[in-house]
Each structure stands twice: as C-alpha cells, then as structure tokens.
Structure 1
C-alpha cells in the first residue's frame, strides 16, 4: 500500500510539473491558444492552459510566480511595479494594431495628427475629418491593456486620452464598433478581418503586415513571453516550439501575426526604431 501511494504521489508531481499556465495579453491569446493546442497534440503528457487578462496581469502574475509564462504586448521595464531584471524576455511575434470605425462614418483614411486629436478629444465630429456630420464616440481599451499602452505611446505621445468607454478585449471592441454608429477604436490585426468594420489607413498607408516590417505602418508591438528568470526544461521546450519554423513560418502568418524573423526594423522599450543589421 505504501509503495502504491508513493507511486501515485510521484505520478501526481510529474503531471503537475508538465502544466504550463500562460496568462496575459488578449492580443496574443489567439496565438497562444492555437499553438498550445497544437503542442498538446504533439506532446500528450503536456498541459498548456491559456488565459487572457491583459499584459499588466500577465507581467504581475509571472513576477509573483503564480504562472509559468506571462504574455505582454509591452516591455516589462515600461510597467510600474514590475522588476524587469527578475524576468526573462522571449519575443515571439509581432502584431499590428489598426484603428477601426463603424462603417457609417464615411472615413477610410486619417492622418496621424487627426488620429491623435480624435483620441485626445480635440476632434469630436466626423465632419472635421471628411466624414458625415456625426459625433465621434471613442472606445478605448482598459487600463492594463498592452494594446492600449502601445497605441497611446505611438499615437498620443504623452497626451492625455479623452475620457471614454473602456473595454477589456479585442472581440468586445470589434462587436461594439461594428454595431454602434459613430464609434472608433483600435484592435489587433488578427481580430480585424470583419466586413462589418472599417479599417482606417494612416496618411494613405494601409494596415498590412508587409508595411509593418519596415515601420511604414507604425502601429505595432512585440508579443512577448516572459518567464521568471531562466525557464526550466519543460517551459524552455515550449518556448523553443513557439520559435520553431512550424509556428514562425506556418501558424503565425496563418492567423494574422508577423514572425519576428520577418522584421527589417526593431523597436526598443523607448519606442526608438532602428534597422536590423545596422
């Protein structure tokens, strides 16, 4: 009996050690879920659990040791309360961010200055940017959202965002904008393939992954996986899978992300852009 109990205990420990919980960025959730499912099929003893909650949650949870991997759209060193030196960064992919409007606005292109003024509250009617005479309703992402942080860093550059309704997820934002006249918001590229919303070009540049590679489309961020220090063998094995050709060359482009290997420029935590190789 003692021998049987010992075997059960050891088996339980082994099963627990194979569990990897991934929490954080809703922009990366789609990729993490699909890759996690594929990984489980190839590794039957693995247990990959993926949850959203936002980049802030991912970073704080992995820092606390509550989860094995925290996903984030932003660099850990930019977030208050996060000790970046205690975490290890594993950049997995790049994701574009695109402003979207309800189709009734009559607007398909904005300048970066116009976009800034809309989200800072200086422009309040679509007529001011060539659209119909209709009040602009801004839908923002919740505080703690990495997509929001990236968008505001690039677009507002320190300006205060207009007070507005806030939503937690890309999916909810898309649903509200598609059904509510006069609305504008922003979502990640993988969620933007919907005929019921209008994707907005910036200064005549279309929101495409090809334009992201050179920063011609400036609204993008890295999708990071953070671990608390050096990952153990089980976690490193999964991260290696995320960086493998199967994920980088097949899965990532299939669902709308961009492989880190495709980038011709890189962005640092201070939003400085430099050419790769220079």
Structure 2
C-alpha cells in the first residue's frame, strides 16, 4: 500500500514537472515572439520632389522601429530609376513612370504613394504672381528677357532649371510649357538649391514641387497659371495641369523590411496626415488620373 502511494506521488511529481517545463517553454517562445522587431537597412533615393515626404515617413518609421535604418537620398528621378534597376537602391523614387524614362518597367514594381503639384517659383522682385501659359513659355524659352514685358517690374529674368534627368523638370516642361525646351540658364541638381537661388536672385524664376512652398515663407512667389492657383483643390479637380504621381519603385517583389516600409507609406497614418502636412496629395483624392503617356482622364 505504501509502495503504491509512493509510486502515485512519483508519477504526480513527474507529471507536474512536465507541465511546468512545458509552460516555461511556451512562455519563452511567446516572449521571444512578442519581442521580435524589424531590423536592417533600407536605401531610398531619387526624386527630390518626393524626398521631404519620404524623409519624414522614414523618420517616423524608424522611431517606431529602432532597429531599422533608412537612408533617404536625392539625385533626381532618373537616378532613382537607374539605381533601383541596378540594385543599388532598395526603393527608387520618381515623379515619372518608368516607361517615360525608357526604363524596363516589367522588372520593377510600382507603388504610387502620392501626387505632387508643381509650379513656377519667382523671386518677389519680379513683380508677378500670375502668368498666362503663353507668357510662361516665352519666359522659359528666352523670348522674353525682362519682367516688364509680361506685366512685371523692370528686372532682368534669370532662369533656374533642373537637369535633364529630373522628373520635376520633365513634368514642368510637359505640362506647363507644352513640351517646349527651356532656354539655357542656371542648372541645379537639387530643388532646395533651386529655391535658394530663386530667393536670392532678383528676377529669378525656377520651378518646384508645392511641398517646397511653405506657409509663412515669402522668399519666393508661387506662380498661378492662366489665373488658376496651384493648390490641392484645383489639382484634384483637374483644373491645374502641372502635377505628377509620386512613385516608389522596387526591383521585383520587395524584401519583407522594404515591404513593411512601403505598407507604412500607403497606410492611413501617412496618407491622411503626413501627406497633406508635407504639401502632397493622396492619390485617392484625385478626381482625374494619368497614364504613362501623360493622357489625363476622369476616374
């Protein structure tokens, strides 16, 4: 009887030990799973029009995921498409469809993370806030050389352009200048530098994304075209023509970390807050759409 009791107690102890060990094992696994976080490095580069939004989103994403490092570079849309195609960038930013730059779009995956409006930026001493489309073309093609010829002050016009690989330039040339080629002037790789030169040079005119026209900053004038202001209401309705999708391209399907960041870019948190706060427009708000040929239609 005593042996049977001891045997029963031994079996109970063994069973208890198995249950305890099993519970410990399960707890450790759960803890490991719950403590898992994203880690690694992402390199993003290309469009300087998209750069401010990408940089802000990257900053917020890294704050949520301390193990992640995101390097956001400029360089222009051409560089973004070239470098992501060659595998040097995890994400290539572009104001243009890949097809518009002659890049093999079949090898890339396109994420439209927003819409950017663009217009001319003018030095305040030029004395103009609005130009007709025809006068704007005359200014940029060098047919008009003084602002007094188009209703401004007696100040010499200085052109500030982006280089050929710039998506901002391609968009402005196509939709503001009807495809005409600007005359030679000062050429700068960065939108920030374009803004600085226009602000500091009497009579200067360049062009940039609306995200660079910040509230309370009167260093440059945001030009209206044909009396239509460059703003969200007019762009989403299709009334203001100078706008482009902001693309983030990956080479094939993105790796999990890159996909997580792209999902964040398309999340409601970014699209409803960061996008408008940074001067961009959510693609979902557009009443019109464009294809790679630049043809616009209603949604």
What TM-score does the superposition give when structure 2 sets the normalisation length?
0.84
Structure 2 residues without counterparts, runs of 5 or longer: 1-36
Match of 1:130 in 2: 151
Residue 132 (structure 2) aligns with: 111
Match for residue 273 of structure 1?
A: 296
**C-alpha separation between the residues in 2 aligned to 1:106 and 1:152?**
23
Which residue of 33, 47, 50 corresponds with 1:28? 50
Match of 2:251? 228
Distance 2:218 2:191 in 1: 16
CA distance in 2, matches of 1:153, 1:203: 16
* Alpha-carbon distance in 1 for matches of 2:241, 2:268: 26
Rate the CA distance shift 1:134–1:53 in 2: closer, same or farther, 3 A: same
- Rounded Cα–Cα distance in structure 1 between residues aligned with 2:228 and 2:176: 15
Distance 2:226 2:180 in 1: 20
Q: Secondary structure at the match of 2:248?
A: strand
Q: How far, CA to CA, are the matches of 1:189 and 1:96 in structure 2?
A: 6
The yes-or-no answer on 1:259 pairing with 2:257 is no
How big is the shift at 1:232? 2.1
1:239 is displaced (CA, Å) by 0.7
Q: Which of these two proteins has the greater Rg computed from alpha carbons?
A: 2
RMSD: 1.7
How much does 1:246 deviate?
0.2
Deviation per CA, 1:133-167, whole angstroms, max 9, x where unpaired?
22211111122111001111112333222111101
Give the TM-score normalised by the residue count of structure 1.
0.90
Aligned-pair CA distance for 1:269: 1.2
SS for the counterpart of 1:147 is: helix
**Matched residue, 1:242:** 265
For residues 7-58 of structure 1, give each alpha carbon's deviation from its aligned partner in whole angstroms, at most 9, with x where no partner exists: xxxxxxxx99721110111111111111011111112222211111111111
Matches within 5 A, 1:1-278: 18-80=40-102, 82-193=103-214, 194-276=217-299
Question: Residue 12 of structure 2 corresponds to which residue in structure 1?
Answer: none
How far apart are the structure 2 equivalents of 1:16 and 1:91?
23
Aligned residue for 1:122, secondary structure, equals coil
Q: Is 2:119–2:172's contact at 8 Å kept on the other side of the alignment?
A: no
Q: Name the SS of the counterpart of 1:258 in structure 2.
A: coil
* 3-state SS of 2:49 partner: helix
Gaps of 5+ in 1: 1-14
CA distance in 2, matches of 1:160, 1:217: 20
